[in-house]
Structures are given as C-alpha cells and as structure tokens.
Amino acid sequence: MTIIVTGAAGFIGSNIVKALNARGLSDIVAVDNLTKADKFKNLVDCEIAEYVDKKDFLDVVESGELGGDIEAVLHQGACSDTMETDGRYMMDNNYRYSLSLLEWCQEEAVPFIYASSAAVYGGGKTFVETRDCEAPLNVYGYSKFLFDQVVRPRLADASAQVAGFRYFNVYGPRESHKGRMASVAYHFFNQYRTSGKIRIFEGSDGYADGEQRRDFVSIEDVVKVNLYFLDNENVSGIFNLGTGRSQTFNDMAVASLNACRALDGEAALTLTAMNSQGLIEYVAFPDALKGKYQSYTQADLTNLRAAGYEDELLTVEEGVARYIPWLAAHQG
C-alpha cells in the first residue's frame, strides 16, 4: 500500500521517508515544493515511488483523481518560518492546504498524521493540549492553532485516524536547507567550526544570559513517535511531541561544543571553563524577536503517554552527541 508524505524533501519529512525505507517500505509518494531546489539532497539516499509537486498534488486531491490503496498520509509540509510576515501566504499554505488534505482523508477513510507546533502556546508557561493554554505570538503559530481548532471537534466522529503532533524544538540530520530557521545545534556547530566560539542571546524575560529554556527534541524521537502512530491507527488526538524536559541554551551550547571537541580529540569542558576561555559569546537580544519569542517551553507528555507511547526520549546531551558527528561527516 502507498504512503503519502508531504514536505518529503524537508527536515522532518525526509527523516520519515528514510525511516520508512529502513522498514523495507518504498511505495512512497513524496510531495514537496522544490522552488528552493537544494532540498532535493535530503531525498538522494531515499527510495520513493513518485514525486509530486505540492501544488499539483492538491489539484489531484481536490479533483478526486487520487485513488488506489493509500495506507496513510503523513502531512509534514508547511511554512515553518516564524518570522514570515505574509499572513495570507501562511494561512493558505499551512491552514487551507491542510484542511483540504484532512477532508479528503476523511472522505476516503485514510489515516491522517500531521505536523502541528508548540508555537500554538505562545508565551505561556503551561504546555497542555487544551484551549486555555493556547495563545500564539506569530502568524505561523496562529496557522497551526487554527487548524488544530478545526481538528478537535471532528475527532469524535472521524472516519479514520487523525493525529497531530505539536513539535517542540526539533534538531537533527537533514535540516541544513532551513538556513536561519535550522536548530540552534546546527548553528552552534557551524559557528564553532567557523569562528572557534558559539554565540547565544543575552538574557531576556527575566532569564540570565543563555538561561532561556526550551524543550529540545531529537529528530530521532520525532520520527519514532510518527511511526508509532502509523502502526496504531486506532489512536487519534492532538499530542505534544517534545522530551518533557526543559533545558537551557547554555546546556545546548555545552553539549554542542563538547561534541565538536570530542571529534577533535579534546577533553570536555564545563560551561564555566568555556566562558573563561572565551568560547561562548553572549549577543544582544534582537529587537525583531521581542514579544514574539518563547523563552520557556516544556512539553507535557501526559496525553502522549496515555496514547501508549512508552519509549524514553533523548536528552540534549544524548541527542547532540549523535547529531554533531553526522553534521561533521556531511559538511566536512
């Protein structure tokens, strides 16, 4: 049976395709927009049955031409640029497109697994999948929030699985095409390799330098959760997908820098030692991010655990130690 992956050339989508291949599955329709052509590199080592442009795919879906045995749609495609100011584009791309796919999947009784975002929570301090916790700070977060709002009342009468994942701060292989929107682990690696130091924002929102906290989650765990739900199509809902722990940007810097040092055969350092040696530089907090920045996130995993997902999720130290060698091997 065919599996459809949208955003297949993107960060999360391409990792899902690669994981499906590892299961021996290659009857995959990869849907994406290659206007930014460099993304194709994410699929070079993957096996797919067909590639369809994002716009053409929606035309096929809405025309009713899509048929055959579709096992599931894993909808990872979206504009994930939190600094995007074109609200019309954002809503058309993230909300309207997703709605069309959802409605088709419900008509055909096809499981629909999709990407939401922790951006729906905005500047709140409680990260539970309930309406009272949701207050997005930007139009990207709003586009994800509004789609979740459409999904909620449909869950009880859904003809097939509908599962949405509120991704927290994901990092890992196949994200280099994201540029400035790539993870801090990616940027820390490149900063250290280029300049011999890592740059972190100064304190903000009452946090000391580098002490803003995020729930950083490895792409390995994100993929595992997606495949768990693919295997358990009786489970529907909207779920946080983070680690359930909050770690500082300083933690991420230490893990990234020490992983780089390990590659060079150098001993690990503490944060204090890194600061004393000038390996970390704290830079002014950007005006463009003021009022639009999540200084603290931590996923509540109660619903994910209740859905039966029991595996432990990687800490920053564990995940980055796996990611940095991959970056070094693929970027030289």
- Give me the active site residues, please: 140, 178
Q: Return the closest-CA partner of residue 114 out of 183, 25, 31.
A: 31
Residue type, 274: M
- Can you name the residues that pair with 31 across neighbouring β-strands? 6, 52
Residue type, 216: F
Q: Are 76 and 36 in contact (CB under 8 A)?
A: no
- Cα separation, 12 vs 152, in Å, equals 24
SS3 282: strand
- Cα separation, 266 vs 197, in Å, equals 15
Token digits of residue 132: 């009272």
Q: Are 36 and 195 in contact (CB under 8 A)?
A: no
- Cα separation, 27 vs 314, in Å, equals 30
